[in-house]
Structure 1
Amino acid sequence: MAIPASVFNPPFNIVRLSHIVLTVTDLKASRDFYVDTLGLQVTAEDDRRIYLRAMEERGHHCLVLERGDIAVAQELGFKVTDEEQLDRAKHYFEKLELPAKWTEVPYQGRTLRTRDPQGIPLEFYAKMDRLPAIHQQYKLYKGVRPLRIDHFNCFSPSVLDAVRFYNSIGFRVTEYTATEDTDELWAAWMHRKGGVHDIAFTNGSGPRLHHVAFWVPTPLSIIDLLDVMATTGYVANIERGPGRHGISNAFFLYIRDPDGHRVEIYCSDYQTIDPDHEPIRWGLKDPQRQTLWGAPAPRSWFEEGSVFANTPIRAADLQATPIIAP
């Protein structure tokens, strides 16, 4: 499998992933989950939306919960370096004949709404309201003590097409999964900020959101969260883990919020800053690919995800089956 060469002078400069907007059907139930159980901090709220940030973040929000009749995923947000890069982004998406329009977003400056070629709704901005630092206010730490948003993972009907597009706007592949027999691309992890990934793509019907992940201090934070969830009515929301990924080397836990949106709790991956970082290849049938300790993921992990609002879904081009837990 030939991974596209990295593009070090992309058409516009993305700094990192920034935030996600999720529509939820019960704002109070979601608040109980994300604030009281996980430990994200409320920065603003009304009867329609709750804005949340993690403990190390200075930006106003990394997660927006928006009340609606149907639980769906909305925009995936990314920060660019400055206003000029925002103009360049608009020009680039217009050149590709993709939707690109300015929109007013609370607590953000000028914001560009668009979609990638597979239909994932995207949002780019250069400035967001800045808040005082709270990372040393230890009295606020609770739940799993989330420090920052870490990445998105999306089901893609063509992982190769997704990689080609995100490669063209400056994302670099760190690890990938290929089929053993035909060497076709089944999944890929791509970054801007110097970790293993800001966004990843997994083969499957889509586009759909697979999960959003939050970085936490240590694996012990995850163990503490499991104890809390087990004694506060959230046992059924624990989907997979805890464990250590083969891909990324990260310690992980997958849980589901009250509407079924999947959240990964994540720590301990590695740096990928060097421009000559070589992507790591994994075989689809390697039992250590999913979990270094060999435990396979459940079927729900490969089949269930959050639909993006107003986004058609199509079947995956590649028909290949990973190892699935019985």
Structure 2
Amino acid sequence: MPLPQPVLHPPFNIVRLSHVELAVTDLAKSRAFYVDILGLQVTDETSDTIYLRAMEERGHHCIVLKKAETAEARDLGFKVYSEDDLDRAAHFFKGRELPVEWIERPYQARTFRTRDPQGIPLEFYAQMERLPPIHQKYALYRGVKPLRIDHFNCFSPNVDEAVAFYNEIGFRVTEYTEDEETGRLWAAWTHRKGGVHDIAFTNGRGPRLHHTAFWVPTPLNIIDLLDLMATSGWVANIERGPGRHGISNAFFLYILDPDGHRIEIYCSDYQTVDPDLEPIKWDLKDPQRQTLWGAPAPKSWFEHGSPFADTPIIDSILKAQPIIAP
């Protein structure tokens, strides 16, 4: 199926991805992972919730850790440009007969929850409490020195359908993998903020959250994190990498938190702000698409993901499989 033409004037204006809530079973252990190992900053915590931000972020939080009996991913948060955009977004989702529920969220102004057509839970807001800058408080930098949340990647049972919907609300495709036999999309990377992606979709049982990614300054930060994890009891949580993707050209590392939520540490992609930027096409049979160089991805990387709360999981339509780099 051909890629849809980009919608440069969507019905409402999404600025970027913002945050995600992760349900975790052991809050203290998750705190140790995200704060002591990764280096995210605590902006508030209660007996059952921890709010975190990265070093360059001015919004109150990019990850919310919530104590729960079962580990799962909850709403993927997106920031819109204005309160008017927020109202137009709610009108859009209602017009598509998708649920719109106005909710109270700590540290956020008016916020509504909805779902995309495949069932991914989404959250939209225009204003979040702003915090003083800390990006030059170098005494606070720890772990991998995360600068900002960068993107989500989700397993999708129908990538063509996912791309068509997000294209309609202004997400633009930067790179994609196509199965030559069927003409269907196997994966696609789409953005709002001018990087390679704010949200990507990978063929697989879903919808499920494949990973949340954080941007770091250099590949050396990733090497430092690997040394830290290997000598502080977290070596078994290193899943894949380091290496470099063909898609996005990013230097990467994938690690698992104590509940198995996957985190990517990510740097070295490229700018995509031009409205006439042409998407880059990859053949599913090209092994360098997912690993330009580095060890091949383990089986878990293609199969394991975090279920979304109250969201049925179905098998993917496309049965094709990529060639895995040797």
TM-score category of the 2 structures, normalised to the smaller one: over 0.9
Q: 1:160·1:185 contact (CA, 8 Å) conserved in 2? A: yes
Cα distance 1:19–1:176, how it changes in 2: closer, same or farther (>3 A)? Answer: same
Which amino acid in the other structure matches residue 9 of structure 2? Answer: N
Q: Secondary structure at the match of 2:162?
A: helix
Which amino acid in the other structure matches residue 288 of structure 2? Answer: Q
| TM-score calculated relative to the size of structure 2 | 0.99
Paired with 2:127 and 2:293, the residues of 1 have a C-alpha distance of 42
CA deviations 1:141-173 (Å, max 9, x no partner) are 010000000000000000000000000000000
Q: How many angstroms does 1:297 deviate by?
A: 1.3
Q: 1:15·1:81 contact (CA, 8 Å) conserved in 2? A: yes
Q: 1:296·1:323 contact (CA, 8 Å) conserved in 2? A: no
Aligned to 1:25: 25
Aligned to 1:288: 288
Which amino acid in the other structure matches residue 261 of structure 2? Answer: H
Aligned to 1:163: 163
Give every structure 1 segment of 4 or more consecutive aligned residues whose post-TM-superposition deviation is greater than 6 Å: none
1:35 aligns with 2:35: yes
Aligned to 1:244: 244
Aligned to 1:109: 109
| TM-score calculated relative to the size of structure 1 | 0.99
Q: How many angstroms does 1:291 deviate by?
A: 1.1
Q: 1:299·1:325 contact (CA, 8 Å) conserved in 2? A: no
Paired with 1:2 and 1:323, the residues of 2 have a C-alpha distance of 22
CA deviations 1:175-229 (Å, max 9, x no partner) are 0001132332100000000000000000001000000000001000000000000
Which runs of 5 or more residues in structure 2 are unaligned?
A: none
Q: 1:287·1:295 contact (CA, 8 Å) conserved in 2? A: no
Q: Secondary structure at the match of 2:18?
A: strand
Aligned to 1:197: 197
CA deviations 1:117-145 (Å, max 9, x no partner) are 00000000000000000000000001000
Q: 2:214·2:265 contact (CA, 8 Å) conserved in 1? A: yes
Q: Secondary structure at the match of 2:247?
A: coil
Matched pairs, number: 326
Q: How many angstroms does 1:62 deviate by?
A: 0.3
RMSD: 1.0
Aligned to 1:207: 207
Aligned to 1:272: 272
Aligned to 1:4: 4
Q: 1:40·1:53 contact (CA, 8 Å) conserved in 2? A: yes
Aligned to 2:184: 184
Which amino acid in the other structure matches residue 90 of structure 1? Answer: A
Which runs of 5 or more residues in structure 1 are unaligned?
A: none
Q: 1:173·1:190 contact (CA, 8 Å) conserved in 2? A: yes
Which amino acid in the other structure matches residue 302 of structure 1? Answer: F
Q: Secondary structure at the match of 1:289?
A: coil
Q: How many angstroms does 1:323 deviate by?
A: 2.4
Which amino acid in the other structure matches residue 66 of structure 1? Answer: K
Identity %: 75
Aligned to 1:173: 173
Paired with 1:78 and 1:313, the residues of 2 have a C-alpha distance of 23
Paired with 1:305 and 1:184, the residues of 2 have a C-alpha distance of 22
Q: Secondary structure at the match of 1:188?
A: strand
